């Protein structure tokens, strides 16, 4: 099999392949094919051969798209590096690889020069260092597309490292091919599809649609920056039918425009769990949201829900995709019954053969251990509760915070909550909660008695701290270290809202966990899955950075009133009332 673009350009040369929204340029498949041939020819003349690894440090541009196809054409393993890393972080990643060339631009050149030793660097802009070559000045060599075997490595993508050191994931041609087919099997394909690229080109969720659309013969719309208002406008302007978003991005787009374009067929929502309020907004405004669970190690989607599933059962990520199997392993590493939670283990043709340069310790006989805790219902719907590493050990018991968050957010006056363990002399770890309440009068005692009604005593937060909002990472998942800090600071300040008498817990210490709780556990905002989060999580958004908007237009609407308000907001007439967020706020939340 040659690069997919070669086959596509031969089959439907005149069809639309790419819209470059930065320059408002349209590329047919034959036009894209020629641009990719030129890009591949330059790589070849820079000394790149089949089987080599080429690193890129580039934003999401048309040239970035060309480089992905060019690597496939040349038989090269592309290593898209995170252009936001510091030189030191980059050097740590590059040291694990065997790069033949690094392609940078004017913004990433300094980091490339500092991080890279003995690997040639080429810049797609005017080089600033003498040692750096000008990519565009290289004469393109004539090249022949290389034949691929399915097991050959097409990409090495680093995990985001939100839960540890970023790891280099090898993705084969077969992984990407299986993912493209399985994704289409779940989402469907319309010949008129246009996929707006919103995620970075160094994340698998950003790369996958580029290869996919070539296989499907559909188009992608590429825009280098993510601005929520502009992205929402792009949906209309370019008749976009599919878009991948992390929850924060979707929230911001809805804040700006009330609803999204009617042209949309699929909003693929992943990288972090979608909370109930966001799903409710999608239902109210007929946004075709498809909550998805995926990871770098599986070339993106593992399971994806359709809108009806998502609205009927908030929190579900639906059933596993075609050919993908998810096994839930209990504490003894044996599969558990539906409803019981355990570690999610994934197998199938999209699963990576392994991390580059590492042994297979992430694999068990059932497949790849994800480090995520979740459960499946009788009908096979998957729920992801939290990361294994997020579990709390208190009084000798292992506690999943997701189950406690689910109980807390069931309280009518609690909008959001995060549960973490903080070190405690008596308990090992102490279960603590950061609670966002809609009712200023809600007391810690009331929170405690609500928990005690639904949870075994040892699971009930021993300390509840109130906050205006939860600290979050770029992808919208709860920033657990920041929660821990906030709670610890509150405890130290003794400005803790209240500490229920811990004595009553002693009796509970040995009580077994209540099984039924897990089945009801819907992780609505507590995650930490290997997500889209930036390697350097931005500071939590302060209230001032939250997009401002007219609350009546965008807040979730109580059931009884939803019809009445829908029409107003759907007109999108609130543009003027919703000032654009400044660049910083956008930067903090673009999921990159
Ligand atoms: O969390 C990850 O690392 C992968 C998530 C991911 O790829 C994704 C994130 C947001 C929207 C869509 C997708 C996708 O699976 O394509």
Q: Specify the ligand 1 atom closest to the Cα of 296.
A: 3
Instruction: Give the residue from 75, 82, 86, 72 showing the smallest Cα distance to 102.
Output: 82
Ligand 1 pocket, mutate which of 160, 270, 351 (most atoms under 8 A from CB): 270
Ligand 1 pocket, mutate which of 294, 351, 387 (most atoms under 8 A from CB): 294
Is there an atom of ligand 1 within 6 Å of 159 CB? no
Q: Which residue has the higher pLDDT, 416 or 474?
A: 416
Q: Give residue 164's pLDDT.
A: 67
Angle in degrees, 0-180, between the axes of helices 62-74 and 204-216, rounded to the nearest 10: 70
Q: Give residue 541's pLDDT.
A: 27
Q: Is the pLDDT of residue 591 over 50?
A: no
Q: Which of 13-17, 370-374, 486-490, 572-576 has the lowest mean pLDDT?
A: 572-576
Q: Ligand 1 atom 10: the closest Cα is on which residue?
A: 270
- What distance in Å separates the CA atoms of residue 205 and residue 244, rounded to the nearest whole number? 7
Q: Do the Cβ atoms of 470 and 418 come closer than 8 Å? A: yes
- What distance in Å separates the CA atoms of residue 297 and residue 246, rounded to the nearest whole number? 18
Is there an atom of ligand 1 within 6 Å of 235 CB? no
- What distance in Å separates the CA atoms of residue 118 and residue 133, rounded to the nearest whole number? 14
Confidence of residue 213 (pLDDT cuts 50, 70, 90): very high
Is there an atom of ligand 1 within 6 Å of 270 CB? yes
Ligand 1 pocket, mutate which of 200, 220, 271, 346 (most atoms under 8 A from CB): 271
| Maximum average pLDDT range among 329-338, 491-500, 515-524 | 329-338
Confidence of residue 511 (pLDDT cuts 50, 70, 90): very low
Ligand 1 pocket, mutate which of 179, 264, 268 (most atoms under 8 A from CB): 268
For residue range 420-459, list pLDDT tens digits in order: 999 888 788 899 999 999 999 999 999 999 999 998 888 9
Confidence of residue 162 (pLDDT cuts 50, 70, 90): low
For residue range 305-341, list pLDDT tens digits in order: 999 999 999 999 999 999 999 999 998 999 999 999 9
In order of their start, the domains of the chain are 4-376 (3.40.50.12780), 391-494 (3.30.300.30)
Q: Which of 29-38, 206-215, 391-400 has the lowest mean pLDDT?
A: 391-400
264 C-alpha to ligand 1 centroid (Å)? 18
Is there an atom of ligand 1 within 6 Å of 476 CB? no
Q: Ligand 1 atom 4: the closest Cα is on which residue?
A: 295
- Detail the DSSP E strand segments found in 212-297: 219-222, 242-245, 266-269, 289-295
Angle in degrees, 0-180, between the axes of helices 29-45 and 62-74, rounded to the nearest 10: 70
> Whole-model pTM above 0.80?
no
Q: Do the Cβ atoms of 289 and 310 come closer than 8 Å? A: yes
For residues 58-68, average pLDDT: 97
Q: Interior CA angle at 352 toward 197 and 188, to 5°?
A: 45
- What distance in Å separates the CA atoms of residue 41 and residue 367, rounded to the nearest whole number? 39
For residues 329-356, average pLDDT: 96
Q: Running DSSP on this structure, what letter comes out for residue 478?
A: B
Q: Specify the ligand 1 atom closest to the Cα of 183.
A: 16
Collect all residues with Cβ–Cβ distance below 8 Å to 590 and sequence separation of at least 6.
Answer: 225, 226, 249, 474
pLDDT mean across residues, the chain: 84
Collect all residues with Cβ–Cβ distance below 8 Å to 359 and sequence separation of at least 6.
Answer: none
Q: Is the pLDDT of residue 171 over 70?
A: yes
294 C-alpha to ligand 1 centroid (Å)? 5
Q: Do the Cβ atoms of 370 and 306 come closer than 8 Å? A: no
- What distance in Å separates the CA atoms of residue 149 and residue 51, rounded to the nearest whole number? 12
- What distance in Å separates the CA atoms of residue 292 and residue 318, rounded to the nearest whole number? 7
292 C-alpha to ligand 1 centroid (Å)? 7
3-state secondary structure of 157: strand
User: Do β-strands 16-20 and 219-222 pair in parallel, antiparallel, or remain unpaired?
Assistant: parallel
For residues 259-277, average pLDDT: 93
* Displacement of CA 273 from its chain's centroid (Å): 9
Question: Cβ of 516: how many Cβ atoms within 10 Å?
Answer: 10
Q: Do the Cβ atoms of 340 and 330 come closer than 8 Å? A: yes
Confidence of residue 592 (pLDDT cuts 50, 70, 90): very low
Is there an atom of ligand 1 within 6 Å of 75 CB? no
For residues 355-376, average pLDDT: 92
Q: Give residue 189's pLDDT.
A: 98
* Displacement of CA 513 from its chain's centroid (Å): 31
266 C-alpha to ligand 1 centroid (Å)? 14
Q: Do the Cβ atoms of 326 and 320 come closer than 8 Å? A: yes
Is there an atom of ligand 1 within 6 Å of 166 CB? no
- What distance in Å separates the CA atoms of residue 559 and residue 413, rounded to the nearest whole number? 17
């Amino acid at each position: 099999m040659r690069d997919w673009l070669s086959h596509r350009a031969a089959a439907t040369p005149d069809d639309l392949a790419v819209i470059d929204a930065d320059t408002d340029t349209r590329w047919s498949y034959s036009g894209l094919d020629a641009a990719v041939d030129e890009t591949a020819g330059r790589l070849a003349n820079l000394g790149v051969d089949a089987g080599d690894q080429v690193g890129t440090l580039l934003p999401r541009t048309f040239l970035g798209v060309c480089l992905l196809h060019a690597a496939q054409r040349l038989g090269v393993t592309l290593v898209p590096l995170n252009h936001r890393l510091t030189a030191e972080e980059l050097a740590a990643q590059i040291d694990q690889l065997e790069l033949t060339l690094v392609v940078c631009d004017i913004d990433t050149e300094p980091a490339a020069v500092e991080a890279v030793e003995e690997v040639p660097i080429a810049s797609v802009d005017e080089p600033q260092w003498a040692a750096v070559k000008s990519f565009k000045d290289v004469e393109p060599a004539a090249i022949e597309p290389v034949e691929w075997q399915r097991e050959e490595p097409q990409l090495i993508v680093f995990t985001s490292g939100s839960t540890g050191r970023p790891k280099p994931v090898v993705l084969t041609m077969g992984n990407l091919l299986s993912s493209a087919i399985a994704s289409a099997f779940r989402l469907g394909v319309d010949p008129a599809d246009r996929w707006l690229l919103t995620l970075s080109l160094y994340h698998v969720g950003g790369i996958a649609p580029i290869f996919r659309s070539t296989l499907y013969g559909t188009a992608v719309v590429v825009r280098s920056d993510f601005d929520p208002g502009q992205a929402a406008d792009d949906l209309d302007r370019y008749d976009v039918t599919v878009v991948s978003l992390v929850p924060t991005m979707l929230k911001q787009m809805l804040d700006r425009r009330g609803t999204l374009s009617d042209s949309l067929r699929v909003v693929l929502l992943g990288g972090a769990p979608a909370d109930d309020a966001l799903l409710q907004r999608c239902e109210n405004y007929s946004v075709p949201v498809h909550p998805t669970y995926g990871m770098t190690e599986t070339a993106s989607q593992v399971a994806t829900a359709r809108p009806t599933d998502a609205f009927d059962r908030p929190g579900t990520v639906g059933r596993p995709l075609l050919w993908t199997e998810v096994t839930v392993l209990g504490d003894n590493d044996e599969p558990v019954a539906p409803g019981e939670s355990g570690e999610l283990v994934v197998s199938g043709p999209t699963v990576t053969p392994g991390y580059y340069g590492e042994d297979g310790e992430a694999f068990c006989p059932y497949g790849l251990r994800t480090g995520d805790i979740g459960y499946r219902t009788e009908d096979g719907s998957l729920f992801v509760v939290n990361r294994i590493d997020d579990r709390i050990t208190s009084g000798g018991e292992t506690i999943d915070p997701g189950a406690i968050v689910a109980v807390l957010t069931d309280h009518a006056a609690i909008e959001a909550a995060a549960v973490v363990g903080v070190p405690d002399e008596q308990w090992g770890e102490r279960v603590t909660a950061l609670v966002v309440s809609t009712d200023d009068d809600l007391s810690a005692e009331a929170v405690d008695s609500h928990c005690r009604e639904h949870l075994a005593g040892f699971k009930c937060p021993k300390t509840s701290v109130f906050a205006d909002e939860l600290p979050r990472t770029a992808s919208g998942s709860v920033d657990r270290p920041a929660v821990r800090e906030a709670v610890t600071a509150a405890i130290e300040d003794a400005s803790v809202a209240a500490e229920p008498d811990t004595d009553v817990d002693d009796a509970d210490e040995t009580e077994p966990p209540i099984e039924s709780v897990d089945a009801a556990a819907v992780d609505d905002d507590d995650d930490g899955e290997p997500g889209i989060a930036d390697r350097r999580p931005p500071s939590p958004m302060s209230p001032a950075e939250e997009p401002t908007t007219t609350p009546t237009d965008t807040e979730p609407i109580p059931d009884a009133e939803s019809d009445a308000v829908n029409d107003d907001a759907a007109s999108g007439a609130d543009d003027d009332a919703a000032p654009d967020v400044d660049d910083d706020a956008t930067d903090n939340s673009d999921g990159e």
